[in-house]
Amino acid sequence: MARYGMLINCEKCIGCYNCVLSCQDEFCGNAYEGYAAAAPIEGHNWIRVIDKERGRFSKVKMAYIPKTCMHCENATCIEAGQDNAVYRRSDGIVIIDPEKAVGQRQIVTACPYRVIEWNEKEQVPQKCNMCAHLLDRGEKEPRCVESCPTGALIFGDLDDEESAISQILKQTASEKLCPEFNLEEKVSYTGLPKRFISGTVVYKDKNECAEDLEIELHNKTETRTTKTNGFGDFEFEGLEASKSFSLKISKPGYKEKRIRCNTSVDIHLGDIYLLPHV
């Protein structure tokens, strides 16, 4: 028996909303007996894409974080349901029974991820069920995964060592969206946005971009280096939040520059001028 999970690579997500639309196409107005009541035509997002604006003028970047039910091992929604209204299948998928859960509004607020919607017409709580009705008739993936044009969503059997998801999880460091909930989620992430430090280095005397110049960033535990591009731009990505760093820029013939930064926010240092030794 499989144990299904999903890996979401935020670096590949372009915020196109295909996953959201295909989920709505599958469930809005369509009931699947034993799996889900028909979702309303408007208002439900069983998968949503969180837009995250990073940085500020003059350097702003967008990140997108797809979010859906995490199909947790320690699912608080299961505990909240009465009469076995929410249950985990042997393949790990957490299902809200569309008949037993009628009237059980308390299930909605039991999920700390806030991914359960209330269907006012059917008087039932609803959420992603990994398209269990499709998997049970032989489909390989939920609709959201199938429709993602960039491969940002990877679905598969976590217990199958040969599955793509197991292979990637073996080679890549993944994390949970909210590890503090401690729910043993079966949806994991790579590339969740962290913090960046960036800037542009300019030779003051020549008013010229400093191309191919090594930049050093360090704190108590690590040292990273990068090089400026043809426009003098550099960037350090994926930095831990709320940490102090020291940036060092040196070039023979120029005064060394050291800048202290704290990653409580993303940091764009703008133009950094290197002054020649006199």
Q: Which one, 150 or 225, has the nearer CB to ligand SF4?
A: 150
User: Tokens 């069920």 appear where?
Assistant: 129
- Among 11, 15, 48, 248, the residue binding ligand SF4 under the rule CB under 6 A is 15
Q: DSSP letters of 233-270?
A: EEEEEEEPTT-EEEEEE--TTB--EEEEEETTS-EEEE
Structure tokens at 199: 């800037």
Structure tokens at 17: 């909303």
Q: Which one, 32 or 273, has the nearer CB to ligand SF4?
A: 32
Residue 9 identity: N
C-beta of 36: minimal distance to ligand SF4 in Å? 13
The number of angstroms, rounded, from the C-alpha of 95 to the middle of its chain's C-alpha atoms is 23
115 contacts ligand SF4 (rule: CB under 6 A): yes
Q: Which one, 88 or 133, has the nearer CB to ligand SF4?
A: 88
Q: Which stretch binds ligand SF4 (CB under 6 A): 37-45, 75-83, 98-106, 230-238?
A: 75-83
Q: Which stretch binds ligand SF4 (CB under 6 A): 51-59, 70-78, 133-141, 154-162?
A: 70-78
- HSE at residue 107, side-chain half, CA atoms within 13 A, is 30
- Among 113, 155, 189, 234, the residue binding ligand SF4 under the rule CB under 6 A is 113
Give the number of other Cβ atoms within 10 Å of residue 26's Cβ: 19
- Among 23, 36, 65, 69, the residue binding ligand SF4 under the rule CB under 6 A is 69
Q: Which one, 16 or 38, has the nearer CB to ligand SF4?
A: 16
C-beta of 69: minimal distance to ligand SF4 in Å? 3
- Among 18, 163, 190, 263, the residue binding ligand SF4 under the rule CB under 6 A is 18
Longest dimension (CA), the chain: 81
Report how far residue 68's alpha carbon sits from residue 25's, in angstroms, rounded to the nearest whole number: 16
CB 96 within 8 A of CB 124: yes
132 contacts ligand SF4 (rule: CB under 6 A): no
3-state secondary structure of 164: helix
70 contacts ligand SF4 (rule: CB under 6 A): yes
36 contacts ligand SF4 (rule: CB under 6 A): no
Q: Which one, 35 or 254, has the nearer CB to ligand SF4?
A: 35
User: Tokens 């208002």 appear where?
Assistant: 43
C-beta of 43: minimal distance to ligand SF4 in Å? 18
150 contacts ligand SF4 (rule: CB under 6 A): yes
- Among 13, 213, 247, 274, the residue binding ligand SF4 under the rule CB under 6 A is 13
Cα-based distances in Å from 201 to 5, 193, 230, 268, 271 = 44, 25, 10, 12, 6
CB 115 within 8 A of CB 128: yes
Please report, as ranges, the residues that interact with ligand SF4 according to CB under 6 A.
Answer: 13-19, 49, 64, 66, 69-72, 75-77, 94, 111, 113, 115-116, 127, 147-148, 150, 152-153, 183
